[in-house]
Every structure is written in structure tokens, then in C-alpha cells.
Amino acid sequence: MQYKNTLDFAQECDFNDPLQSFRDKFHIPKHEGKNCIYLVGNSLGLQPKSTRKYVEQELEDWQNLGVEGHFDEQATRPWFHYHKFLKSHLAKLSGAKESEVVSMNSLTTNLHLMMVSFYRPTSEKFKIITEAGAFPSDQYALETQLNFHAYHGGKQLFDPKEALVELSPRPGEETLRTEDILSTIEEHKDQLALVMMAGVQYYSGQLFDIKSITQKGHQYGALVGFDLAHAFGNVPLQLHDDGVDFAVWCSYKYLNSGPGGVSGVFVHERHSSNPDLPRFAGWWGHDESQRFKMQKGFIPMSGADAWQLSNVNVLPSAAHLASLEIFSEAGIEKLRSKSVLLTGYMEYLLNELNSEKEKIRIITPNDPKQRGAQLSLSLANGGKDLFNKLADNGVIADWREPNVIRVAAVPLYNSFEDVWKFVDLLRMLLT
């Protein structure tokens, strides 16, 4: 597309956008009586207008059926099987088989559950590779898992301070090179137990090469997992074909399923059919045909369902289902196509803004294949003041210390006009 720096051009793009009607499916916050320019779907997605109906339906079934809502044929979606209503949608978004995905718990809880099964260190192979500056929850999960496993039977298996290998960009660069990730895996191959990285790095917005990283880890006998909090619903995924061992994600960012919404996991079928794999179990992961016999002896469900602990969080799952049905209607490939154009337009306008003098530096990769919807904007100074001025003018973005404003033009509900008005406001504020 040949971009133009005019409001008319942006409005023409919106008029010709085959996905333009999806914007009307969401509630957009107001500022002084007008729609905000909401560019923070990478932190909390907007509420679909259908969410209230889906949640109220479960409230109604609870009101009318009580506990019978789990099984009664009068229930709209019986709660006993509620997680199954989400599977087809999650499979499409993750590039997985339905048996390989399940929604449950919260993200960090799921990460710990996955590491119980997939981080099995020994005194010889104990290292974990991750990106430096990973999201704090991931850092804390990895740190505490290492401390937990470092000692066994009163003996130290390994030094947890030496076990975490953190990947940093080269001096003077903001993002990681794929060749550096792969060479680090090779460097630590003899001691490497797990590669655990983000799909999209939350701070820089870099989309990692999931397939190449997974193949390299497997080449040396390591398992490979991903935190897809900033990738799921943002970019197309092919977790099954790429051979990823496990993945976790949340649903409240690009998936628009409400604050603190239910998380999800992927477990590749080569693992999920292994009943001897260590795991922390709960009764919802037990064979559902035997579940209500209340007997000892854990018999895992087949597939990812075996990692479930407790019965489904129905009300958050109802909100989740409302949004997932919108994704299935739109199609992740079509959303990705629009996202590339939207983010490319924002990049073009920012480069126009910087044409005479660099005022804002984009630290997200300029290759569309290495990023999703997010652009991370770095300012040498005055960034927080600029962020506050944007908010005062109806732009909802995201500030991350020490000097980055994160903005994400989400293809389901953001428009080309949103993007143009945002950068035009930046121009005025920086004059």
C-alpha cells in the first residue's frame, strides 16, 4: 500500500476496510463525549458488546437451575463441559489440535504447572534460556522454579544463579537477532534443559521466530515453551506444526476477555498422551467418566485437559467465549493482514514526523514479520510528560519505565483514522 499522510487517506482506508464492521462490536471508552483513541489493547482489550449477554446467560442459568446448571439440558451451555465450548476457537488461533489446548486458571499459575512437567533438571542439564527483561511474572516464575529444583535430598544439583541464561541485544541494538538466540542455544547445549521465551516481547514488541527457536532447542535435547501473552490473538500461530512443547497465554490483552480473564495452555500431543509425565493434578484433569466416583488414583484425561485442576471458572469463560467467537468470525489471517497495514501506517507517519529531526525512536523491529500490532516508542527525555499529555487529549496508551510509550493498533477495533489522529496529536505536542 502506498501510504499518504492525510486524514482523507486514512478515512478512505477505513471505508475500504473489509473488517471495518467489527469496530462496532466493541465498547469504546469516551473522553469529553468523544471516542478515545484506544491504543492499549496489548494491555487490556476492549469489551465486546456481546460480553454482557454471554455472562448474563450464565447468571440466568445459575438463577433458574442452581447446581443443575452443570448438567441440565435446559442450561444454555452446561457448565460441566464449558471449557469444551472454547476449544475450536483456541485451536484456530494457536494452530493446534483441539485436544492440545484448554482454557484454565491464570497465566503464571499455568506457567508453573507447565514447568512442573517440562522443567526436569539434573546435575548435568539444568539451564534455562530466556530473554533478558522478560515480563516480571515470567522472571519470578523462572527464578523460583530454579530455587525450588536446585537442591534435592540435601544436595545441591546446580547453582540457580548460573542456571538462568538471559539473552540481551547486541550493544547499541534494541532487539535480539535470531542468529544470536540460536547460537546461545548451541553454546549451552550440553547443560540446557529448557528454552522458555515470550512469543512477542512485551517491552520491545519483537515477535520471535518460534519455529527456528523450537527446532534449535530440540536439536540439543532441550524442551521449548513460550509465554504467548502478547502474541495470542495478535499474530497467527502454528504451535503444533512448529513442534512447540508447551505454551501459556492470558485472555485479557488481544483476546478482549476481561481484566484477569481466564488463561490457556497448549501441550503438544506427543506429551499429552503420556500418562507418566509428572504433573500437579486436580480433579478436573481426572478422567471425566470417573470423576464423580470420588476415588483415589489419578487417571489423566487425554490431551491438554489432563492439566486442569479445578472446575471451570464459568463467568470469566463466558466473557472469553464472547470474544473468541468474534475472532472466529473475523479470521486471524484477515486480522493479521489488516494489522500489518495499520502498524505499517503508524510507522510511516512516525517516520514522517521524524523526517527533519528524530523526535521519537521506534525500538520495535521494522520488519513486519518480526512484530505484531505493537510499536514501542522511545524518548530520550520528557516521555512521561508526553504520555500524560496524550491521556489529557483522549489517547489511551501505555507507559513502561524507563522511557517507552507502547501503542498497539488492534485490527478488530482500531481504525486508520485512529492512527492518523494519534500521530497528528504527537506532532502538535512535540512542536
Question: CA distances (Å), 17 to each of 111, 266, 297, 370, 412, in order?
Answer: 38, 33, 55, 24, 11
CA separation for the pair 338, 359 (Å, rounded): 27
Residue 44, pLDDT score: 98
Radius of gyration from C-alpha coordinates of the chain:
23
- C-alpha cell of 427? 506532532
Q: What is the CATH number of domain 59-328?
A: 3.40.640.10
Could you state, in order of their start, the residue ranges of all structural domains in the chain?
7-42+331-430, 59-328
What is the phi/psi pair of residue 151, to 5°? Answer: -120, 135
Closest CA to 263 of 279, 275, 252: 252
Cα angle 181-249-388, degrees, rounded to a multiple of 5:
90
Residue 265, pLDDT score: 98
Residue 292, pLDDT score: 87
Cα angle 257-395-379, degrees, rounded to a multiple of 5:
110
Question: CA distances (Å), 388 to each of 34, 236, 405, in order?
Answer: 18, 33, 11
Residues 6+ apart with CB under 8 A from 313: 262
Residue 73, pLDDT score: 86
Question: CA distances (Å), 59 to each of 48, 65, 118, 133, 259, in order?
Answer: 18, 10, 38, 41, 19
Distance of CA 61 to the CA centre of its chain: 31
SS (H, E, C) the chain: CCCCCCHHHHHHHHHCCCCHHHHHHECCCEECCEECEECECCCCCCCECCHHHHHHHHHHHHHHHHHHHHCCCCCCCCHHHCCHHHHHHHHHHHCCCHHHEEECCCHHHHHHHHHHHHCCCCCCCCEEEEECCCCHHHHHHHHHHHHHHCEECCEECCCHHHHEEEECCCCCCCCCCHHHHHHHHHHCCCCEEEEEEECECCCCCEECCHHHHHHHHHHCCCEEEEECCCCCCCCCCCHHHHCCCEEEECCCCCCCCCCCCCCEEEECHHHHCCCCCCCCCCHHHECCCCHHHCCCCCCECCHHHHHCCCCCCHHHHHHHHHHHHHHHHHCHHHHHHHHHHHHHHHHHHHHHHCCCCCCCEECCCCCHHHECCEEEEECCCCHHHHHHHHHHCCEECEEECCCEEEEECCCCCCCHHHHHHHHHHHHHHHC
CATH architecture label of 7-42+331-430? Alpha-Beta Complex (3.90)
- C-alpha cell of 406? 507502547
Asked if residue 266 lies in contact with residue 210, where contact means CB atoms within 8 angstroms, the answer is no
pLDDT tens for the chain, 431 residues long, are 899 999 999 999 999 999 999 999 999 999 999 999 999 999 999 999 999 999 999 999 999 999 999 998 889 999 999 999 999 999 999 999 999 999 999 999 999 999 999 999 999 999 999 999 999 999 999 999 999 999 988 889 999 999 999 999 999 999 999 999 999 999 999 999 999 999 999 999 999 999 999 999 999 999 999 999 999 999 999 999 999 999 999 999 999 999 999 999 999 999 987 877 899 999 999 999 998 888 999 989 999 999 999 999 999 999 999 999 999 999 999 999 999 999 999 999 999 999 988 899 999 999 999 999 999 999 988 889 999 999 999 999 999 999 999 999 999 999 999 999 999 999 999 98
The residue assigned the cell 523526517 is 355
Distance of CA 193 to the CA centre of its chain: 24
On the question of a cis peptide bond just before residue 402, with omega within 30 degrees of 0, the verdict is yes
Residues 6+ apart with CB under 8 A from 340: 368
CA separation for the pair 190, 126 (Å, rounded): 9
Crossing angle of the two packed helices 178-187 and 210-219, in degrees rounded to 10 = 10
